[in-house]
Amino acid sequence: MAHPRTLIALAIALSGLLAAPAFAQTAAAQAAATAAAAPAGLYQALGEKPGITRLMDDFVNRVVKDPRIGGHFKDVKPAALKESLTDQICQLSGGPCKYEGADMKSAHADMDINKGHFNALVEVLQSAMDAQGIPFAQQNRLLALLAPMHRDVITTR
What is the value of pTM for the model shown?
0.75
User: What is the Cα–Cα distance from 11 to 119, expressed in whole angstroms?
Assistant: 10
Per-residue pLDDT band for 105 (boundaries 50, 70, 90) equals: confident
More confident residue, 76 or 125: 125
Residue 132, pLDDT above cutoff 90? yes
List, in sequence order, the alpha helices (H) in 38-114. Answer: 42-45, 48-63, 78-92, 104-108
Judged by average pLDDT, the poorest of 51-55, 63-67, 100-104 is 100-104
Per-residue pLDDT band for 31 (boundaries 50, 70, 90) equals: very low
Identify the CA nearest to 132 among candidates 23, 47, 16: 47
Note the CATH number of domain 40-153. 1.10.490.10
Residues 140 and 8: beta-carbon distance below 8 Å: yes
CB atoms within 10 A of CB 69: 19
